[in-house]
Structure 1
Amino acid sequence: MDTQQTRGDPAEPNTNCNGPSTMAEKIAVIRACESMKPEDERICFDPYALHFLDPGTRQALLRNSGAFRYILAQIENQLPGISGALVARVRCFDEFVQQSTNTGYGQIIILGAGYDTRAYRMDDLKTIRVFEVDHPDTIRVKVEKIRKIFGTLPNQVTYVPADLEEDGLELKLADRGYDPTCRTLFLMEGLVMYLSPAAVDRIFSFTVKNSPKGSSVLFDYCPEDDGTGSGAGWASVRSATAFVSRQGEPLRSCVPGSIRDFLTTRGFAGIRNMTGADLRQAYFTGKNRGRTISELYSIASASVGTQTCTVGEEP
């Protein structure tokens, strides 16, 4: 097992486990602010993110048409490049999911779902069974918010309360109708780095052992910081790492060395990786050309046990 614990918080549990995720709401703030930009300027669009904000922030954004720029500027001053990294991540995941829905996936598992809104804002997901898995406290708040937004819960979404550090996915998903013979897309956005290395390995092991060939994973991760990196890029990474730790949700795992080695040893093939530089090249054009992006996250996709490439993968 070569996932490594992050420097500074080697074995501390998530101290926010008795309430909904603090970081889930902070990330929703960034999605909401980005979505309020003009269409030719925004990187991603999430019309429901606003509903997951605290009342004060939500009202400020609704009352003042320019408030979103002030909030994003504050975030950028505190954590340079982090909002760019997060909205690029949302865009990358959205595009992968959009392309994948036309290639035969029968179900989607969103692990660490937080306040993810893809099942509600992407039309193609309204005909595919979606399992949203997260800590019971976060799921409780999520369900309350979705009821308020839509008046009811969508039929195609199954909510799975689970502590991914403690609970086995086999029983949690089987109890709610997960089909291990059905080609499945596993999404893990903003999850892997918050789990212990042991929990990360259990999830990838479950994916390989309980889904058919051609199933896929898409996840973001933190490359290992060995402490030797210098310059503004690594400085922003270390600032972001310290910030999330102060929120009670420290980064606990990173991927050292090659992501290809990490995934092939766990039974995956057709691996594709996108770094912060790749995301900048893909999305930060036009009015966003000068926008900064933190190198905190990279994004990887892979297939279960087959060399056949699926959408978005490299042979």
Structure 2
Amino acid sequence: MTVTKRPPAAQTALGPMVIAACEQHLPASQRVLSDELAVQFLPPGLRLVVGACRWRPVRDLLTDATDKKALGLWASVLSRKRYADDKVSEAVLAGIEQFVFLGAGLDTRAYRLVPSAGGRAFEIDLPANIAYKRQRLEAVYGRVPDHVVLVPVDFQTDDLADVLHAHGLSPKTPTMFVWEAVTQYLSEDGVRRTLAFLAQAAVGSRLIFTYVRKDFLDGIDFYGAERAHQDFVVKQRMWHFGLDPDDARSLLLGYGWAEREQVGRRDYLARYIRPTGRDLPVSEIERFVYGEKE
């Protein structure tokens, strides 16, 4: 099966999954993240790269190359993914049975974590990413698992409510929304269009989303990520939307959501990095917000 070449924004789904897959070569006690499925969703060439990372010198080279673009990026990606895993697991334990992954990329939560809830998962992403995800699911499982619905969308132009309801989403059912590593690729209008859709969620729904700090995007503070700023903001002009940490609460409140928690570098170090015994820097440029629908 041939998949259309993905645009730059779609290709960014690959890097984080390489990091997640490489992490699996460490002993369980030293891992920030456990995701045995990650490598299976990668293209053959990247699976070879991950295989080579079983040798620590190769893994260290890849980690160093990543952190030269943005200091602490490698551990930040691992911590971000672990935090999202934790929040999805909490939602499962709380009895939530409907999950929506906005910008799902190649993430595996719908297959590792959701089945235990006996619920449904809607994976939403750019058409090129959805086409590739379908290909990998058919290779791994022989088909798209019954509890998963793949939904191709353009966050900038499509009406999410219409698209998701057409695919069977129940608007009256409390839902866990995961919106990871997407907002920076959207315009402010695109972010607000998505939040307007999320404003329709049932009471008791949960939302986690990441954002890139506005002062980083504006070039006020690079946080050791000058190369990332030059690549993503200046040259490729892929990152557009940023947020000040103090503004997240009011932004959510305007769409009917209450901020319950906001985490970043210090939280990741305390919760995920130090307990492994590893000495890894964590980037400051991205944060995660958790909110609940009231």
Q: Do both proteins adopt the same fold according to a TM-score greater than 0.5, normalized to the shorter chain?
A: yes
CA, structure 1 residues 286+279, in 2 after alignment: closer, same or farther (shift >3 Å)?
A: closer
- Quote how far apart the aligned CAs of 1:159 are: 0.5
Which position in structure 1 is the counterpart of 2:210?
220
- Range with bigger deviation, 82-91 or 243-252: 243-252
Give 1:29-48 correspondences, 5 Å limit.
29-48=18-37
The percent of aligned pairs where both chains have the same amino acid is 27
1:181 aligns to 2:169 (yes or no): no
- Quote how far apart the aligned CAs of 1:266 are: 2.2
Give 1:114-153 correspondences, 5 Å limit.
114-122=105-113, 124-125=115-116, 127-153=118-144
Give 1:163-178 correspondences, 5 Å limit.
163-178=154-169
Matched residue SS, 1:40: helix
**Contact 1:126/1:156 (CA < 8 Å) preserved in 2?**
no
Give 1:4-23 correspondences, 5 Å limit.
18=7, 21-23=10-12
Matched residue SS, 1:177: coil
- Quote how far apart the aligned CAs of 1:243 are: 3.3
Consecutive unaligned residues in structure 2, runs of 5 or more? none
CA, structure 1 residues 299+127, in 2 after alignment: closer, same or farther (shift >3 Å)?
A: same
Which position in structure 1 is the counterpart of 2:283?
294
Which structure exhibits the higher relative contact order, with contacts defined as CA atoms closer than 8 Å and separated by 6 or more residues?
A: 1
2:239 to 251, 254, 273: 251
The AA in structure 2 aligned to 1:300 is: V
CA, structure 1 residues 163+219, in 2 after alignment: closer, same or farther (shift >3 Å)?
A: same
Alpha-carbon displacement from aligned partner over 1:233-275 (angstroms, at most 9, x marks no partner):
x342443233335895711101134211221122211421112
Q: Structure 2 CA distance, aligned partners of 1:48 and 1:300?
A: 26
Matched residue SS, 2:260: strand
Q: Structure 2 CA distance, aligned partners of 1:72 and 1:81?
A: 9
1:271 aligns to 2:260 (yes or no): yes
Matched residue SS, 2:135: helix
The AA in structure 1 aligned to 2:282 is: I
Alpha-carbon displacement from aligned partner over 1:247-306 (angstroms, at most 9, x marks no partner):
9571110113421122112221142111221211111114445210001111101111x2
Query: How many positions carry a matched residue from both structures?
Result: 285
The AA in structure 2 aligned to 1:59 is: L
Which position in structure 1 is the counterpart of 2:292?
303
Matched residue SS, 1:101: helix
- Range with bigger deviation, 20-29 or 121-130: 121-130
Q: Structure 2 CA distance, aligned partners of 1:125 and 1:102?
A: 9
Consecutive unaligned residues in structure 1, runs of 5 or more? 1-15, 307-315
Which position in structure 1 is the counterpart of 2:47?
58
Q: Structure 2 CA distance, aligned partners of 1:240 and 1:290?
A: 22
Which position in structure 2 is the counterpart of 1:236?
224
Which position in structure 2 is the counterpart of 1:162?
153
**Contact 1:22/1:247 (CA < 8 Å) preserved in 2?**
no
TM-score with structure 2 length normalisation? Answer: 0.89
Matched residue SS, 1:254: coil
Q: Structure 2 CA distance, aligned partners of 1:73 and 1:228?
A: 25
Q: Structure 2 CA distance, aligned partners of 1:170 and 1:218?
A: 18
Higher helix share: 2
